[in-house]
Amino acid sequence: MEQPARYDAIVIGSGHNGLIAAGYLAEAGKHVLVLERREIIGGAAVTEDTFPGYRLSTCSYVCNLLLPEVVSDLELATYGYHVRPFDPTYFVPYPDGDYFLAFLDGDKTREQIARHSTRDAKAYDVYWRMWDRILNRMQPLLRRPAPSEAELDAAFSGAEGRADWETLTETSIGDLLDRYFESDKIKAPYATGGVIGVNAGPRDPGTAYVKFHHLIGSIDGHQGAWGFVRGGMGSVTQALAGYCRDHGVDIETNAEVAEIVLSNGVATGVRLVDGRRFDAPIVVSNADPHRTFLDMVGADHLPSDLVSGIEHMRVKGSVVKLLVGLNELPNFTAMPGTEVGVQHTGGIVINPSIDYLQAAWDDCRAGKPSAHPFMDVYIQTATEQGTGLAPQGKHTLSAFVQYAPYDLAEGSWDGRRDEIAQTIIDTLAAYAPNLPNAIEYMQVLGPPDIERIIGITGGNIFHGEIMPDQMFGNRPAPGYSDYLTPVDGLYLCGSGAWPGGGVFGAPGRNAALRILGAFGDPTVRV
């Protein structure tokens, strides 16, 4: 019988966190194998040939969170990674024909806010000073295993510490914005970051934490700015893969792991669906916690408290991804024109008020797709030509839409997908009437589709919601927040681990440094 190939470490999944963990381990001299179930690498951070002549970022679509340490340590710029921030950051059309633009330049943003409320323009800086305090308290805690109560107490000590902690963990994004702003038209776009990817509405306590999560990163010194990665989000994982390969990492596609092999309770390797076996004393899973523990290891091999914690983790998604090929740009009633303008080059937010967003969530809570969904819309081709994303003169459009529940109260996703897509298009058309006739191709991915294609349980973009009760020492389950597992030799490195999801890289980096025993070691870059 042929002996299994042997490595120093095996990483399950070629999403960004898996490749980041592999890169750090390889840099430390480990011989690493990365196994990917799909035919392409990248997990949810991929650019694919979605339609003839069109390439789109299938799931993940814009970048902000990626740790600067990862970009530097793994030399991503050398391998083609380039991100540029949106400016304007947001264009928000309103049903009455008005609009709001937010810019990287604070003065320009305040001018826009003053069009709706001079009081709100004055409150803008106060609002951001609050977030700056919280970000300064939290940033060091994101770069290591989940903080203890003592570490949190220290981080939130001093002036306004208790108030900042309550804001972060107990406050709804709606209530928080009410403290600072009076205009619904200003509160509306700033509320959306508080519900991205979670089954919650803007009035639910804890959604301020979700907003914080979307402010963690910065681009070119602009805190909280988001941007396009040149060539689409697959360029992130392609750059990581390039670094890994140049450091001796083997990457195999069409290699789905069926089982993490145990010997006397110790991880010794993996067995693939096709029967192949690979051995290693270190197995690092970038799969979500459900798949890792309940499918690949099995509940019988795990402590009951961990099994219970994973079973109770909220993982069913409510996000729809709409991918479109356009023969012309949207012509917005609030800012007309089909030539590239500021209304096309940043994030386009469809959410006229917090009440609108709450109603969209109320539909989802009842098991119904939102009758009037919120969406973030991006047209990468408006700022990027010459990289083959679309045919000459045509454009891609990517919409991140909420809400449509994983479990529909009536019917099935296969039976209702076209209806859900039509609601999304009709909603957009209310602001850009030319859109339906501009569509050449369209694809709709609901939570079950994301689960099936990418392999994320429940189709949850974060491998489990990032509400406060599923963060800190509770991620992925109480007592298991340090990337170690009860199975010796098995580690978690994915978004289901602290400090959570998005194209962030902190779980992958932190897990690798944990494996290497590198926290506090001055000889290892941390």
pLDDT value of residue 65: 87
pLDDT value of residue 3: 77
Q: Name residue, tokens 């750090």.
A: 24
Side-chain-facing half-sphere of 393: CA atoms under 13 Å:
2
Same domain, 196 and 237: no
Same domain, 284 and 343: no
Number of domains observed in the structure of the chain: 3
Q: Residues 222, 104: contact at Cβ < 8 Å?
A: yes
CATH number of the domain encompassing residue 440? 3.30.519
Reply yes or no on whether the pLDDT at 180 is more than 70.
Answer: yes
Relative to beta strand 54-57, strand 374-378 is: unpaired
- How many other C-beta atoms can be found within 10 angstroms of the C-beta atom of residue 266? 13
Reply yes or no on whether the pLDDT at 34 is more than 60.
Answer: yes
Higher pLDDT, 364 or 520: 364
| Average pLDDT of the residues of the chain | 96
pLDDT value of residue 525: 42
Mean per-residue pLDDT, 331-337: 98
State whether residue 382 is helix, strand or coil.
Answer: helix
For residue 450, is it within any domain?
A: no
Where residue 336 falls among pLDDT bands split at 50, 70, 90? very high
For residue 524, is it within any domain?
A: no
For residue 366, is it within any domain?
A: yes
Reply yes or no on whether the pLDDT at 520 is more than 60.
Answer: no
For residue 249, is it within any domain?
A: yes
pLDDT 10s digits, 244-285:
999 999 999 999 999 999 999 999 999 999 999 999 999 999
pLDDT 10s digits, 288-321:
999 999 999 999 999 999 999 999 999 999 999 9
The C-alpha angle with vertex 253 and arms to 247 and 255, in degrees rounded to 5, equals: 115
Q: Which domain holds residue 139?
A: 107-208
Same domain, 323 and 411: yes
Q: What percent of the chain has pLDDT over 90?
A: 95
Mean per-residue pLDDT, 140-158: 96
Same domain, 438 and 325: yes
Same domain, 46 and 141: no
Same domain, 187 and 284: no
**How far lies 487's CA from each of 266, 478, 519, in Å?**
6, 16, 21
pLDDT 10s digits, 195-232:
999 999 999 999 999 999 999 998 988 999 999 999 99
Where residue 524 falls among pLDDT bands split at 50, 70, 90? very low
pLDDT value of residue 522: 40
For residue 452, is it within any domain?
A: no
Reply yes or no on whether the pLDDT at 521 is more than 50.
Answer: no
For residue 215, is it within any domain?
A: no
Q: Which residues contact 231 (CB under 8 A, 6 or more apart)?
A: 47, 80, 384, 387, 389
Q: How many helices (H) and strands (E) does the chain have?
A: 18, 22
For residue 435, is it within any domain?
A: yes
Same domain, 158 and 49: no
Reply yes or no on whether the pLDDT at 327 is more than 60.
Answer: yes
For residue 225, is it within any domain?
A: no
Where residue 286 falls among pLDDT bands split at 50, 70, 90? very high
pLDDT value of residue 526: 39
